[in-house]
Amino acid sequence: MKSIKRESTADAGFQIAPMIDVVFVIMLFFMVMAGAVKVEYELKTSLPGRADTAQSVEMPDEVMLGVAENGAVTLNDDPIAQPSDETLEELYRQMAQMGKASQQSKTKLLVTVQAAETALYNRVVNVLDALARAEVTHITFTVANPPE
């Protein structure tokens, strides 16, 4: 009798065509699902509270503190302290109120100290002390242009 030799089955190896089909199906799934995503929007709500404690303070973009040659201090061109006032209590109160308002509105309180060229350094230090007590941290400096 004659024996039949069986041929060994050939190893097909890694087939790329079925893998491409699977990738296309997954890609199609994600493309279809991307259109179904709902966008969430923020709802502006205000919670009820005690209205007497909440003081509305309009926040300017930048607060300008001027230190004049004679020592007078101005807040956005409005006089706030005379040269004889060394503690600058009114400036402290105004800046503390603006600082609280900026914290509540989650914005930065930007302060620019604009001193005259011949202003005394001691007076500028008094202004900086008042700002430090009011916990104002974003401060820039500039020199006022002399009037021509």
DSSP, residue by residue, 70-90? TS-EEETTEEEE-TT-SS-HH
pLDDT value of residue 101: 85
Token look-up 């609280």 returns 100
Instruction: Report the SS3 class of residue 24.
Output: helix
Pick from 134, 64, 126: nearest CA to 96:
134
β-strands 110-115, 78-81 pairing: unpaired
Length of the chain counted residue by residue: 148
Q: What is the pLDDT along the chain (148 residues), one digit of tens a residue?
A: 567 766 666 677 788 899 999 999 999 999 888 887 777 777 777 777 655 444 555 555 688 888 888 888 888 888 888 888 877 888 889 888 888 888 888 888 888 888 888 888 888 888 888 888 888 888 888 887 655 5
Using CA atoms, how far apart are residues 57 and 97, in angstroms rounded to an integer?
8
In terms of Cβ atoms closer than 10 Å to its own Cβ (0-12, 13-18, 19+), residue 28 is exposed
CATH number of 63-143: 3.30.420.270
What pLDDT is attached to residue 27? 95
